[in-house]
Structure 1
Amino acid sequence: MSDTTVVEARLRWRAAPLARSLLTVVAAALGVAVIGSRWQLLVFVAPMIGVLCSVRWQRSVGGIRVSGEPAVVRCFESEQAQVSVAVTGAPAVLTVTPTAGMQLTAVEGTTAERRTVCGSAPRWGRYPVRATIEATAPGGLLVGVDTVDACEIYVFPRAAPQPTPLPRTELPDRLGVHLTRHTGPGVEYADVRPYVPGDQLRTVNWPVSARRGRLHVTERLTDRGADVVVLIDNHAQAPGPATQATERTARGAAQVVQTALRNGDRAGIVALGGYRPRWLGVDIGRRQFYRVLDTVLGSGDGFESLTGTLAPRAAVPPGAIVVAFSTLLSTEFALALIELCKRGHAVVAVDVLDGAPFEDDLDPLAGRMWALQRSAMYRDMSTIGIDVVHWSGDGALADAMRLVPDRHRTLLRRS
């Protein structure tokens, strides 16, 4: 949670109900006086006309401020977040209204100038809490209304609990939980070799040394950590199934980052395209998970902005594993994947497009030709080193990631 936010209201003044009632009575009385030649009605409505003429001299209310506490609340889907909205500076009536997709529940003990509500949303996203202020001028003939965003509720997507497998590749020399073929500190048996000066005595294999008459040590396979960078496609999509793929993109990114951080790996994210391209460097820890979710939603200021169409080198450290979520309809995003592959990264593209990006009432031959074209694209990208897997809406991401070919094992066999 962050500090309290204060927004100054800019009231739009209009006639109050009292002014409209007086105007209605004056108009009716003047009409009857003209039609029926009753001059006495003019004497009756003269004070009312004087009151209406004083509208231009009435002093309007100013300096009304709306405060939201806290300014930003973060929660997950279907969780409740409590916020308080208050109006200060002048007497006014405060009404809190939710945005589309969010539900607000009033908390007991609220007043006309301070509202405490609990908000929840079934879908992830950014939900501003809007406050409507209605203030009446001292004369009672004018009323000012304004609507401001008092605070925001950031709803994070829930990640599936299943771990997401990562492609096999050469990992940086850092301790982790991924078993490699390199010897070093670890628990898995690798080999036995003769003792050389500098070996630790605790690695001496005494039974083998006794049989062979000289000291031998046991070598073990080392466990290393990985750098995982998630690449998400925020380019404009055509209406239809392509726009619905945003849901799987956010959930898939959260699941990959959650699995990496649970394994002790470093994780980061790069969002290409859209109105605000951004990236967050790799890091470890629980706080990094929430920073990644903030970057997915484009909230806060913990990430860096970029202006190009390629992932910056600072965001993708050498030897990092890149998992991209995209509909693979943008040429700029495909070029970014190819550039990462040329840098030597292990790149896996997850196709989140479920179906063809056009209407179903076309000729069935168009759908089959589209499927053949996508298969050819998968083959061409695999040829240059980018493995593409399809993730449908009814399947799990872990099942799709298991279809990534083990290029590391193929290289070992060839060598």
Structure 2
Amino acid sequence: MAAAPGDAPDWVPTRALGRAVLLTGLFLVAGALLGRVDLVVLAAPFALGTAYALRRRPVRPPEIGIAVDDTNLVEGGALVAGIGVGNVDEVHYDLVLVRTVVSSWLRVDEVRFASGDAGPDGSAPADGPAPATGPAATAGSGDPGRAGRRDATDRPYGFTVPAGTIADLELRGGTLRWGRHSLGPAAVRAITCDGLLASQTVLTEAHPVPVYPVTEPFEADEAMPRAAGLVGGHRSRRPGEGGELAGVRIFGPGDRLRRIDWRVSLRARQLHVAAMLSDRDAEVVLLLDVLAEAGRSGGIRGSTSVLDTCVRAAAAIAEHYLHRGDRVSLLEYGPSARRLRPATGRRQYLTLLEWLLDVRVEQSPHEPYDQVFGPQLLSSNALVVVLTPLVDARSAAMLARLARSGRIVVAVDTLPPSALPPKRGQWTEVAHRLWRLDRDTTIGQLREHGVPVVAWAGAGSLDLVLRDVARLASAPRPGQR
């Protein structure tokens, strides 16, 4: 819980206390000067009432905290949060006003009020509001389908807090878009002593609310073009201890006895063993092009931007290959050149989701190729999946250089169909058509260079492309004389 900062007094007199003191003083002075007892009698209720209300004055300011029930939120999921106001004093709060700031990508549909007791030592817990107990009354509601509208937290809420208790405001709604959002800061001000004393405004810091991208369904049933690890779930062309039969050959030194094919050995009167193909894992590199942005993000239920498609597709592809035991790494093609080292398992998937929350579009006039692809950074056997809108000319040049270096490259087009320029002139539509034609020409040139370009469409987006790439990688290469 946060407390009011330092040097200012925690409680200040209100205008009601000033009026009571002023009226009492006026009646007493007028009665003394004019010699009228009735004026002194009129001043007595104001004096006695003020003294009775101030007989017990608060010592400590109110405390406030913010907490979120679920820390693993996904865009489009439910949001349940709470703002707790604690009264750790022995004086009843006649009125408490609470107001908070909510990120535009967090929707709050209703606010409910509940109260509970303070901690065993008479203080409010420091980690946020206590669980809501007792009946709860709905304080506000909103339309869950509209983003950027006026929600239930756009007005302050007032309630009373008895001494030694905690009052909770339960916020219920949903998340609209991935990213690092915040709930708060929240402010509280309490009024006590029958409205004669008011606390200074107490602020609490904003509570971070990370929202992970929704994982779109994705399946890639085709084999990996190149599998480079020692063990894994992909069939390799190299002999080893796998489950795929490669053929039968004569027994040699180092062969295991359990591999002996007795039928062939009895027929040929010489020991033969079954040769197997090794099962190997693959390394998948997801390269996110962050040089340009297009389209407008409308959240999980609205329109998508390039960044939305890029992040959601990266999460889906990474989850698929990590589930199969492959190694996945991420790179940003931009000025910052952020990277995530290749690894496997659920820990890598959670780290990857955290990494994706910080993806931002960064424009730069410089070519970031040498900065992104440092020496020995990109494995020659890795499958490089480039998520790019192909809006910047440097993106197409980067794809062509990767293809010429002999790596397996697949380009995923993340430009949404709804990305249209604003119609401000009569030539805007014509210019947009010309730009689309030029972009289609660039895509055709990339395909001629051996870079397949496919639009992201969820499940099965890369099946046909990976099948063709795997066939090309497994085809025999002509020898050089």
Which consecutive unaligned segments of at least 5 residues does structure 1 have? Answer: 1-5, 27-43, 49-60, 300-305
Report the CA distance shift for 1:167/1:377 in structure 2 as closer, same or farther (over 3 A). Answer: farther
Superimposed CA distance per residue, residues 124-149 of structure 1 (whole angstroms, 9 cap, x where no aligned partner): 23331114223359995766436544
Residue 129 (structure 2) pairs with residue 75 (structure 1): no
Q: Deviations over 1:284-335 (max 9, x none)?
A: 1112212111111129xxxxxx998525567644522221212122345455
Taking a change above 3 Å as real, the CA distance of residues 202 and 334 of structure 1, as seen in their structure-2 partners, is same
CA displacement 1:102-155 (0-9 Å, x = unmatched): 226546339656555555314323331114223359995766436544422222
1:346 paired residue among 408, 416, 428: 408
Task: Check 1:69–1:359 CA distance in 2 against 1; reply closer, same or farther (3 A cut).
Answer: closer
* Change in 2 beyond 3 A, CA 1:20/1:413: farther
- On the 8 A contact 2:179/2:358 being kept in 1, the answer is no
Please show how residues 59-74 of structure 1 align to structure 2 within 5 Å: 67-69=65-67, 73-74=71-72
The yes-or-no answer on 1:377 pairing with 2:439 is: no
Larger Rg: 2
State yes or no: 1:298 paired with 2:294: no
Matches within 5 A, 1:308-387: 310-311=372-373, 316-334=378-396, 336-338=398-400, 340-341=402-403, 344-355=406-417, 357-359=420-422, 362=427, 365-387=430-452
TM norm structure 2: 0.63
Mapped to 2, the partners of 1:409 and 1:182 lie a distance apart of 16
Query: Equivalent residue for 2:246?
Result: 190
TM-score, with structure 1 as normaliser = 0.71
User: What is the distance in 1 between the residues matched to 2:223 and 2:333?
Assistant: 22
Secondary structure (helix, strand or coil) at the match of 2:201 reads strand
Q: Which moved more, 1:212-221 or 1:317-326?
A: 317-326
**Quick one: which amino acid aligns to residue 435 of structure 2?**
W
Give the secondary structure class of the aligned counterpart of 2:72.
strand
Offset at 1:367? 4.6
Which residue is 1:31 aligned to? none
The alpha carbon displacement at 1:349 in A equals 1.6
CA–CA distance in structure 1, aligned partners of residues 408 and 369 of structure 2: 24
Give the secondary-structure state (helix, strand or coil) at the position aligned to 1:291. helix
2:460 corresponding residue in structure 1: 398
Which of 320, 324, 327 lines up with 1:266 in the alignment?
327
| Partner of residue 282 from structure 2, selected from 212, 226, 234 | 226
1:16-415 aligned at under 5 Å gives the runs 18-19=14-15, 67-69=65-67, 73-80=71-78, 82-86=80-84, 93=96, 94-100=98-104, 101-103=106-108, 106=112, 108-109=132-133, 115=169, 117=171, 120-135=174-189, 144-145=200-201, 148-164=204-220, 168-238=224-294, 244-273=305-334, 278-298=338-358, 310-311=372-373, 316-334=378-396, 336-338=398-400, 340-341=402-403, 344-355=406-417, 357-359=420-422, 362=427, 365-391=430-456, 395-403=457-465, 406-410=468-472, 412-415=475-478
Cα distance in structure 1, aligned partners of 2:331 and 2:405: 16
Going from structure 1 to structure 2, the CA distance change for 1:146 and 1:389 (only over 3 Å counts) comes to farther
Pick closer, same or farther for the CA change 1:203–1:384 going to 2, 3 Å: same
Give the aligned residue type for 1:158: V
More displaced 10-residue stretch of structure 1: 66-75 or 167-176 = 66-75
Whichever residue aligns with residue 348 of structure 1, its letter is V
1:35-85 CA-to-partner distances (Å, cap 9, x unmatched) read xxxxxxxxx9xxx9xxxxxxxxxxxx9988754457992222343455555
Looking at secondary structure, tell me which structure has more helix per residue. 1
Q: CA deviation at 1:10?
A: 5.7
Structure 1 residue identity aligned to 2:322 = L
| Paired positions, count | 374
Q: How much does 1:236 deviate? A: 4.3
**How many Å separate the matches in 2 of 1:121 and 1:284?**
29
**362-371 or 287-296, which moves further after superposition?**
362-371
Distance 1:400 1:173 in 2: 22
| RCO comparison, higher one (Cα < 8 Å, 6+) | 2
Identity %: 25
**Measured at CA, do residues 154 and 377 of structure 1 come closer, stay the same or move farther in structure 2, by a change above 3 Å?**
same
Q: Is the 8 A contact 2:329 2:343 kept in 1?
A: yes
Cα RMSD of the aligned pairs, angstroms, is 4.5
- CA shift at 1:265, angstroms? 0.6
Q: Secondary structure at the match of 1:298?
A: coil
